[in-house]
Amino acid sequence: MSNSDSLCIALDGSDRSWILTIARSLSEHVGWLKIGLEAFLAHGPELVGEVAALGPRVFLDLKLHDIPATVRRATANCAACGADMLTVHAAGGRGMLTAAVEGANEGSRNEPPKVIAVTVLTSLDRADLDELGIERLPDDLVARWARLARDCALDGVVASAHEASMLRDECGAGFLIVTPGIRPDASAIDDQRRVLTPAEAVGAGADILVVGRPVTRADSPAEAAQKIVEEMAGARRAAADN
């Protein structure tokens, strides 16, 4: 996977014109563009097709979580509308995760989309889990749910880069680790708590880095994305030299 293929930019928002303008400006610089719940609810499957037509692969991040039959139909529809990767909540359990993979395979016209499990949201910390009645450290819960996702034949997980090294040991080299909460140096952490820089995330073993506002709100999104790609490349060269 090249460094640009490892970078995903989150097109967060509901302004269709802005989303497509940013997508066009980044189409030659990144491998993935992410459409989230807000944009999808505003513009529907048509937006997936419009973004996909620009060239990068589409990461449809809806974080599905429902009974197995509903999720199976939903992932089939995600595949049919052109998503190349989609998310479901690991907390939905074994039956739901298995159904998600089945639906993605059934709905695909060509290669099925990658099905990725969301473990612990990067906006949550130990205090949040305690308040929810989950008496586990975030790392422990991430590992448990990642193993479940792997056993259900999912392609990988969404997890903080802080957990990437541990997840690689737990789940093996072929299991994708998609990491949000990536912030270049000097960027605000916004509403994410468990964050790392691109170089730190690559060094920890993350496969695909998801970056939002530091790129989309930059004066030149293309230049901001290219700087991150270069930072990732430098981190990988340094790792290879060691």
The residue-averaged pLDDT of 187-204 equals: 71
Task: Report which of residues 114 and 183 the model is more confident about.
Answer: 114
Is residue 137 in a domain?
A: yes
Domain enclosing residue 163, as ranges:
7-241
Q: Give a yes or no: residue 222 inside a domain.
A: yes
Q: Kindly report, residue by residue over 94-119, the tens digit of the pLDDT.
A: 999 999 999 999 999 889 999 999 99
pLDDT at position 120: 86
CATH number at residue 143: 3.20.20.70
pLDDT at 160: 83
Q: How confident is the model at residue 240 (pLDDT cuts 50, 70, 90)?
A: confident
Output the CA torsion sign for 157, 118, 147, 130: positive
Please, what sign has the CA dihedral across residues 61, 54, 179, 211? negative
What pLDDT sits at residue 186?
46
Dihedral of the CA atoms 27, 77, 177, 157 (nearest 10)?
150
User: What is the average per-residue pLDDT within 22-39?
Assistant: 97
Residues with catalytic annotation? Answer: 63
pLDDT of residue 184: 83
**100 in any annotated domain:** yes
C-alpha closest to that of 50 among 88, 24, 13: 24
Instruction: Return the closest-CA partner of residue 105 out of 118, 96, 114.
Output: 114
Would 1 be classed as within a structural domain? no
Domain count, the chain: 1
CA neighbours closer than 13 Å in the CB half-sphere of residue 100: 32
What does the alpha-carbon distance between residue 20 and residue 149 come to, in Å, rounded to a whole number?
A: 33
